[in-house]
């Protein structure tokens, strides 16, 4: 599976790549030289909206993609270019905050996250995903409909 590194201007794209299970380095704190170094060292595709950074990447023979347009157009272009299906499967996702791996917790392991979510959430849902790195907890709550609608929009842009 392709691994990415994303410049500071493409945070929403990084989120969608992580949710689709792609190992994606993103931090607004990473400087351009470091982006290039990491891309080379870890064999990552550099995604950028910065023409100068893209040019520098090409000079170093780094696989890089220059992205233009709005967020939806950028997401659709990357998904199309790298054959990423616009579908979120939580068990394959990565943490949208830190890129960590998620562990699925079924009813038997649910107790592990009791102190990490609101009591109402804990009582209402039985399946959770816990980030092994930052301890963020995910579940298919109200935002799930918005996530699926967004993936539908990307699917339409791809067709």
pLDDT single digits (tens) 118-144: 999 999 998 999 999 999 999 998 889
SS3 assignment, position 131: strand
CB of 95 within 8 A of CB of 126? no
With a cut of 90, say whether residue 106 has pLDDT above it.
no
The string over 69-98, giving b where at least 16 C-beta atoms fall within 10 Å of a residue's C-beta and e elsewhere, is eeeeebbbbbbeebebebebebeebbbbee
pLDDT digits (tens, 9 = 90+) for 32-90: 999 999 999 999 999 999 999 999 999 999 999 999 999 999 999 999 999 999 999 99
With a cut of 90, say whether residue 108 has pLDDT above it.
no
How high is the pLDDT of residue 118?
A: 94
Whether this model's pTM surpasses 0.85? yes
Q: Whose CA is closest to 150, among 20, 11, 33?
A: 20
How high is the pLDDT of residue 78?
A: 98
Q: How many angstroms separate the Cα of 156 from the Cα of each of 50, 76, 104, 133, 159?
A: 27, 9, 30, 34, 5
Helix (H) or strand (E) holding 148: helix 143-158
User: Taking the alpha carbons of 93, 96, 102, 108 in that order, is the dihedral positive or negative?
Assistant: negative
Whole-angstrom Cα distance, residue 102 to residue 19? Answer: 10
CA 105 to chain centre: 20
How high is the pLDDT of residue 67?
A: 98
How high is the pLDDT of residue 142?
A: 86
Across residues 107-117, what is the average pLDDT?
90
With a cut of 90, say whether residue 107 has pLDDT above it.
no
How high is the pLDDT of residue 10?
A: 97
């Amino acid at each position: 599976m392709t691994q990415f590194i994303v410049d500071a201007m493409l945070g929403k794209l990084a989120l969608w790549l992580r949710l689709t299970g792609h190992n994606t380095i993103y931090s607004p704190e990473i400087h351009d030289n470091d982006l290039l170094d990491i891309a080379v060292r870890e064999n990552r595709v550099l995604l950028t909206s910065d023409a100068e950074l893209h040019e520098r990447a090409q000079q170093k023979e780094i696989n890089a993609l220059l992205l233009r347009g709005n967020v939806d157009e950028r997401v659709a272009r990357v998904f199309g270019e790298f054959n990423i299906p616009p579908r979120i499967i939580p068990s394959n996702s990565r943490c949208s905050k830190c890129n960590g791996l998620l562990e699925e917790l079924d009813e038997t392991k649910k107790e592990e996250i009791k102190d990490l979510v609101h009591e109402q959430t804990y009582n209402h849902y039985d399946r959770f995903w816990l980030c092994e790195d930052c301890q963020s907890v995910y579940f298919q709550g109200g935002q799930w409909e918005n996530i699926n609608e967004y993936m539908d929009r990307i699917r339409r842009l791809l067709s």
